[in-house]
Structure 1
Amino acid sequence: MTFAALGLIDPLLCNLQALGYSSATPIQTQAIPAVLKGRDLLASAQTGTGKTAGFALPLLQILLQQGPKLASNSTRALVLVPTRELAEQLLQSFQRYGKSLPLRSYAVYGGVSINPQMMALRKGVDVLIATPGRLLDLYRQNAIKFGQLQMLVLDEADRMLDLGFADELDQVVCALPNRRQTLMFSATFTAPIRQLADDLLRDPLILDISPRNSAATSVEQWLVPVDKKRKGDLLLQLLRQQPGAQALVFVNTRKGVEQLVQRLESEGLSADAIHGDRPQPARLRALARLKAGEIQILVATDVAARGLDIHQLPLVVNFDLPINAEDYIHRIGRSGRAGSSGQAVSLVSADEVRQLAAIETLTQQLLERREQPEFSPEHRVPETRIGGQLVKKPKKPKKPKQGGKNKVHLGTWFEEN
């Protein structure tokens, strides 16, 4: 379906045409008209299917067509996100979609000085994208007011709860006007998220565009069993099989990220890192270097699992399987975006089999195992099956005990009344 058929105005259509957007995705086709009608929304769709445009485009149109003049230190639309990277990504999207429109968008998050953010908010912003912690800091200092708020968007709300933002979300919501339009978008919805939706949304339209917790079909997935100590060597071999191809490699710990970057650079490969201990400017610079083709490999913790939109990223590698199975879906969703295809390979050692079983149960599919003969593990990765259970080898029956030398079998004793 064309975007014009969804009821979008000409300025937005011109911007979409300039960006090369020809037709709407399923999530956009259903979400945009509903948002324009003022409905609350709970929408679930796979990563890379255009969720951002599904709420950003109608939000911009509503703000352009209605509402009083923006007051100082005020905002008319608030978008809450779990990570700094996602905040920056959404800000860029709003600026592209709303190019030449008389609307201001801005992003606030921790890890950088708060003073420039307070200065930027003095004139007010139409769309404010924020992480909950920094937003509360600004609110407590009267740098942001919510009297003119019309719309609230929670993007990747499940991740916000995973990161422990539940209390902060409650505090933010309590500060907002009760009369507002609320939208919730994510690739995965757990039971706590659906409870949050019940508390926040009024008669919402529920959209399940794709099977719940399903992985992107545009991404080819497989795993390679390998001993933990040989993962680095296997990664090097996989990267050298695709010379020049860029890759996003996920590691569970910050220390592990730094160690892997050093290993890759010592082998002559260009790499950079993103993790929670790095200053925000360094994290943004690392991402920009990958997008510009200055580096081949970006190694990251799960702070990069959401919000990174890298055009035609061919390969995602799970050097470590994620602790939370839902993060697997978001990790591999960094590849195969916007109609392109991608690959996702997981390097799995024997001690990660329970994480593997949880992922396969969540996605309802067994990952294909591709053995690398020269990396056959000493510690075998047990077979798994849907349901999170491990396939165990049947135990050998025990042999009956034989009477020892010079021992007499006395038979079965019983008491007779």
Structure 2
Amino acid sequence: GGLVARNGSDAAPGGSGANGSSVARDSPQRPTPNSHAAAAGDAEPPRATSHSRLAQRHGGSHEARFESWKPSERVAALTDAQISEIRQRLNVTVKAPEGEPPVITPIESFMDMNLHENIRTDITHHKYTAPTPIQCQGIPIALSGRDILGCAETGSGKTASFAIPMIQHCLAQPPVRSGDGPIGLVLAPTRELAQQIEKEVQAFGRTSRTRTSIVVGGVQMHEQRHDLQRGVDIVVATPGRFIDHLQQGNTNLGRVSFVVLDEADRMLDMGFEPQIKEVMLHLQPKHQTLLFSATMPREIEELAKVYLNKPVTVKVGAVSTPTANVAQTLEHANENTKMDLLSALLGEEMHQSQTGGPPMTLTVVFVAQKNRCDEVAEVLNSDGIPSVSLHGGLSQGEREYALSQFSAGKVKVLVATDVASRGLDIKGIGHVVNMDLPKQFEDYVHRIGRTGRAGTRGRATSFWADRDSFLVTQIKTAIAELEKGNTFAFATGKEARQQERELAQQFKANMKMGVASTGVVQTDDAGTAVKVDDKYAFMAKAAATASTNAGAADAAWDD
């Protein structure tokens, strides 16, 4: 059927066969993918594919119903001045495309949203009292049938902002029968994030008995096949595994009319763009798309231009200052002393919590390799610091057990690799320790953003060796720039990575030349002067002029 070839896993695809794309169909409802698709990263010219293979409609077709929705009369009566005041108070900014109707008012109570009574029952059951800012604005926009390009501060309740409208949309459709594809589809970058999303969807679909299916790698295909073939209302999936099931004919896109791309920036980073395209190109013409991204690099804007229909852009919170709430500390250490330093650092916190001091916060320790994960956790446990490890070598059951122990606070330390922890949303992480620094600055930004979320304060401690000198210089420079008010000092995305490669080459060249002399660049959180050699001064200059088009990292991965 011309689909992107995938192996059964959902690891980042890299270069293994993930370069296919499909011919688009023209549709008056949707912009036809054109030059934007190339800009968004086509690996090769589109090739022909069988549309019917993906979008076949078993037992006849059901065109999606998009019911007319209106808020309560009280909300409808608000003046422009009142609406502006509400947005300002919620720290929400919205932008509609030129020539399009104004954006619906943010609504500060679930009752005024005129939700289906079943959803209201579930909101009450789960003791949700008032919507968060992203829910106040995102839910009404989605209920009014418009596409959304959303960028919300982490820990903001984003999942509910798409789960509630999606369930309301499903309740307006004819029932799903055996052999039908789903009505709602959520694509997310990782298993863990997909599991968290499904849990929330189930919470709001409890009374309605909304049938959901989670489709991720690491679980036997046949278990998922049965659910999909029987027919479900909503599928929450990682892109690679969902494509596998489409290829095998276990489900289809014939009824999909509400699509959510969550953490789209991370999906692109992990190489899933071909899979996203494959799905988006084969949807029925009449559908609604919500795209959420922690960052807004140019690649995301290009993706939105191609696959979203006149979207409303919604931003909540200080999206461009990911590390403002995180106190960052850098400690020089060689490989032989890192374990002792870590054990002493965490041991002291554990001791204080046991002798009347503040309770030890949840701590994530990042290491470079999965075998090191188990070793570090073992040493910490033997030193009396309860720890679990999380890496790609564990079974799904082992991963879930480790996460449940950590999120419940039964163990205070999670030792993890980057890949295993992507998409993780555990509230209350107070400390991130980089036992091994990552190779890329962007990964550093996302790591430390696990803490300091939703307005709380966090700490990040990084052990660095001589080989990390370039990254450390970038970090110090970015901290200094952030303090001077340059909110794009921690920029991420493809453009930022390209700039980083160029800076790294210049850095190595300057190191060889041995240019000397030092200068002081601002102070860090502790009031300590951050020294940067003059030979690195070009980096400060580059950070100060970072392009706003490149976007900036949010505080890591959302709910």
TM bin (shorter chain) = 0.7 to 0.9
Aligned to 2:208: 101
1:71 aligned residue: 177
Q: Specify the alignment match of 2:402 in structure 1.
A: 286
Share of identical aligned residues, percent?
A: 36
Partners of 2:451 and 2:457 within 8 A in 1:
yes
1:116 alignment counterpart = 223
- Provide, for residues 38-97 of structure 1, a one-character-per-residue CA deviation record: whole Å limited to 9, x for no partner: 111111122111111111111112212x11221324100110011111111111111122
1:152 Cα shift?
A: 1.0
Structure 1's 114 and 10: CA in aligned 2 closer, same or farther, altered over 3 A? same
The residue type paired with residue 367 of structure 2 is: V
Q: Which AA in structure 2 matches 1:355?
A: L
Q: 1:281 deviation in Å? A: 1.8
Contact 2:346 2:385 in 1 (8 A): no
Q: 1:156 aligns with which of 250, 260, 263?
A: 263
Does the aligned pair in 2 maintain the 1:305–1:327 contact within 8 Å?
A: no
SS in 1 for 2:230: coil
1:201 to 1:185, Cα distance in 2 relative to 1, 3 A: same
2:363 to 247, 250, 257: 247
Question: What corresponds to 1:334 in structure 2?
Answer: 450
* Deviation larger for 291-300 or 3-12: 3-12
User: How many Å separate the matches in 1 of 2:538 and 2:178?
Assistant: 54
Superposition deviation, residue 326 in structure 1:
3.9
Q: Within 5 A, what are the aligned runs for 1:191-230?
A: 191-215=298-322, 219-229=325-335, 230=337
Moved more, 55-64 or 7-16: 7-16
SS for the counterpart of 1:48 is coil
Report matched runs for 1:317-332 at 5 Å: 317-332=433-448
Opposite residue 225 of structure 1, the aligned amino acid is: E
Task: Specify whether residues 111 and 317 from structure 1 end up closer, same or farther in structure 2 by C-alpha distance, changes over 3 A only.
Answer: same
Q: 1:200 to 1:110 in 2, by over 3 A?
A: same
1:321-400 aligned within 5 A: 321-337=437-453, 341-356=457-472, 358=474, 360=478, 364=489, 368=524, 382=532, 388-389=539-540
Task: Judge conservation of contact 2:390–2:421 (CA < 8 Å) in 1.
Answer: no
3-state SS of 2:305 partner: helix
**Structure 1: which 5+ runs fail to align?**
373-379, 392-417
Q: Do structure 1's residue 136 and structure 2's residue 243 form an aligned pair?
A: yes
Q: 1:17 to 1:302 in 2, by over 3 A?
A: farther
Secondary structure of 1:52's counterpart equals helix
TM-score with structure 2 length normalisation? Answer: 0.62
Q: Does 1:261 align with 2:368?
A: no
8 Å contact from structure 1 (residues 45, 210) kept in 2: yes
**Structure 1 residue 234 corresponds to structure 2 residue 341:** yes
Q: Secondary structure at the match of 2:394?
A: coil
Contact 1:48-1:333 within 8 A present in 2 as well:
no
**Which of 419, 423, 440 is the equivalent residue of 1:307?**
423
The structure number with the bigger radius of gyration is: 1
Structure 2 regions of 5+ residues with no counterpart?
A: 1-107, 354-359, 482-486, 491-521, 543-559
CA RMSD of the aligned region, Å? 3.0
Distance 1:280 1:353, change over 3 A: same
Structure 2 residue aligned with 1:401: none
Task: Give 1:383 deviation, angstroms.
Answer: 6.8
With the length of structure 1 as denominator, give the TM-score of the two structures: 0.82
For 2:272, the aligned partner's letter is F
Q: Deviations over 1:167-197 (max 9, x none)?
A: 2222222332232101111211211111111
Paired amino acid for 2:144? K
Query: Which stretch of the first structure deviates more once superposed, 14-23 or 136-145?
Result: 14-23
Task: Tell me the CA shift for residue 387 of structure 1.
Answer: 7.9
- Is residue 54 of structure 1 aligned with residue 210 of structure 2? no
Match of 2:187 in 1: 80
Q: Sort the Cα spacing of 1:18 and 1:56 in 2 relative to 1 into closer, same or farther, 3 A.
A: same
Q: Taking structure 1 as reference, are residues 228 and 177 closer, same or farther at Cα in structure 2, changes over 3 Å only?
A: farther
Cα distance in 1, alignment partners of residues 376 and 526 from structure 2: 23
For 2:330, the aligned partner's letter is V
2:515 alignment counterpart: none
**AA at the equivalent of 1:281:** G
How far apart are residue 305 of structure 1 and its match? 4.1
Stretch deviating more after TM superposition (208-217 or 274-283): 208-217
Q: 1:382 to 1:292 in 2, by over 3 A?
A: same
Structure 1 residues 381 and 352, CA, compared in 2 at 3 Å: closer, same or farther? farther
